[in-house]
């Protein structure tokens, strides 16, 4: 095969395969930047006049795989955090209602989690709580207000459809993955050659920064995986496919 002079200006598509089960876990084909770094350390023996370096010992071979992406998925959060996926979630809802003609009745949009309803006058949000009783979606103020008066209601809503929740505990840690990368290299002769990498045992570091802003570029996250050696000592393959 020809020894090509080549360069790269394209991101890697990555397939993460669970290291234990060998089953595909995530197809990450939406990254903006993928970077592979190999690391190692050298220790020297010194001897003679001038204290020169005489013998080098190499070790601590390792590296990192870093992914920068503006596109996110719940499965990506799960990969980085090691959290458990669930199809149900509970969260707080804030709604404004007008009480009924009796000055007490409030019909909620949802059946709240029992014991979670809190009501305030609309002009006293999070101020003095108005006592009420709740049955299903129907709430009734203990002390009636003027008919049509506005109130603010907070309650917990439980969802079991269309939900992807990643539950991260203090004991949650990401697993290990085999990662297959796919990109292209371009030669001085304008040839485009397929280029593949294989990380034999990649361990996500577990750090995740999620930012939310209404100005500037879309939020971006960076994922860093430590490259470990597998049981055969393999760390990384770099494969160029020629003509």
DSSP designation for 233: S
Cα–Cα distance, 10 to 124 (Å, whole number): 56
Read off the pLDDT of residues 88-125 as tens digits, 9 standing for 90 and up. 999 999 999 999 999 999 999 999 999 999 999 999 99
* Coil/strand/helix, residue 76: helix
Contact between residue 125 and residue 35 where contact means Cβ atoms under 8 Å apart: no
Contact between residue 203 and residue 53 where contact means Cβ atoms under 8 Å apart: no
Read off the pLDDT of residues 179-221 as tens digits, 9 standing for 90 and up. 999 999 999 989 999 999 999 999 999 899 999 899 999 999 9
Helix (H) or strand (E) holding 80: helix 74-81
Distance linking the first and last C-alpha atoms of the chain: 8
Task: For residue 3, name the pLDDT band (cuts at 50, 70, 90).
Answer: confident
The Cα-based distances of 171 to 46, 76, 88, 175, 176 in angstroms read: 46, 18, 20, 12, 16
Q: Which tokens is 231 given? A: 């049981």
The answer to whether the predicted template modeling score (pTM) of the entire model surpasses 0.75 is: yes
Q: What's the angle, vertex CA 55, arms to CA 50 and CA 59, rounded to 5?
A: 130
Strands in 138-235 per DSSP E: 138-141, 150-159, 165-167, 177-187, 192-204, 221-227
Check residue 17 and give its pLDDT: 98
Helix (H) or strand (E) holding 132: strand 132-135
Q: Which tokens is 199 given? A: 């990380």
Task: For residue 4, name the pLDDT band (cuts at 50, 70, 90).
Answer: confident
């Amino acid at each position: 095969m020809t020894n090509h002079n080549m360069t790269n200006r394209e991101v890697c598509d990555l397939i993460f395969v669970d290291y234990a089960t060998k089953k595909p876990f995530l197809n990450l084909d939406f990254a903006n930047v993928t970077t592979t770094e190999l690391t190692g350390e050298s220790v020297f023996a010194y001897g003679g006049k001038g204290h020169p370096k005489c013998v080098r010992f190499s070790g601590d071979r390792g590296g990192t795989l870093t992914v920068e992406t503006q596109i996110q998925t719940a499965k990506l959060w799960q990969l980085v955090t090691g959290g458990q996926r669930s199809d149900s979630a509970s969260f707080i809802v804030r709604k404004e209602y007008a009480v009924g003609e009796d000055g007490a009745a409030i019909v909620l949009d949802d059946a709240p989690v029992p014991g979670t309803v809190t009501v305030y006058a609309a002009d006293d949000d999070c101020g003095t709580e108005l006592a009420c009783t709740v049955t299903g979606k129907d709430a009734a103020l203990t002390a009636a207000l003027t008919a049509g008066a506005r109130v603010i209601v907070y309650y917990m809503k439980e969802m079991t459809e269309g939900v992807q929740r990643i539950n991260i505990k203090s004991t949650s840690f990401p697993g290990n993955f085999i990662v297959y990368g796919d990109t292209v290299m371009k030669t001085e002769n304008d040839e485009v050659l397929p280029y593949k990498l294989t990380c034999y045992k990649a361990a996500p570091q577990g750090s995740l920064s999620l930012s939310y802003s209404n100005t500037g570029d879309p939020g971006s996250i960076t994922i860093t995986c430590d490259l470990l050696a597998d049981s055969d000592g393999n760390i990384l393959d770099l494969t160029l496919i020629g003509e």
